[in-house]
Amino acid sequence: MDPTRVSVHDLAFLYYPETFPLKDRFLHRLYVRWAVRKSSHIIAISEATKQDIVRNYAVDPQRISVVYHGLDKTRFRIPEDSDQASIDTVKETYGITKPYMLYVGNVQPRKNITNLVRAFTKLKRDGYQDIQLVIAGAQAWRVQDIFQALGEEIRQDDIIFTGRFADEELPPLLWGSSGFILPSFYEGFGLPVLEAQACGVPTIVADTPSLTEIAGEGALVCDPHDPESIQETIQQVWNNPDLARDLSTKGHKNATMFSWQRCAQQTLRVLINVYEIFKAVNARKR
Report domain extents, the chain: 5-70+259-285, 81-255
Query: CB under 8 Å to 74, separation ≥6 — which residues?
Result: none
pLDDT at 277: 78
pLDDT at residue 151 greater than cutoff 60: yes
Contact 134, 160 (CB under 8 A): yes
**Edge-first strand listing for the sheet containing 41-44:** 5-8, 41-44, 64-66
pLDDT at 3: 77
d(CA 62, CA 44): 12
pLDDT at 140: 79
d(CA 113, CA 227): 10
pLDDT at residue 74 greater than cutoff 60: yes
Q: 81-255 adopts what CATH topology?
A: Rossmann fold (3.40.50)
d(CA 101, CA 238): 9
Average pLDDT over residues 189-193: 97
SS3 175: helix
Helix intervals (H) in the chain: 12-15, 22-38, 47-57, 84-94, 113-125, 143-150, 170-176, 191-198, 209-215, 227-239, 241-255, 260-285
d(CA 222, CA 217): 14
pTM > 0.75: yes or no = yes
Task: Give helix then strand counts, H and E, for the chain.
Answer: 12, 9
The reply to whether 81-255 shares the fold of 5-70+259-285 is yes
pLDDT at 198: 98
Residue 185, sorted as left (phi over 0), alpha (psi -120 to 50) or beta, turns out to be alpha
CATH number of this structure's domain 5-70+259-285 = 3.40.50.2000
Average pLDDT over residues 243-256: 98
Average pLDDT, rounded, for the chain: 93
pLDDT at residue 238 greater than cutoff 80: yes
pLDDT at residue 1 greater than cutoff 80: no
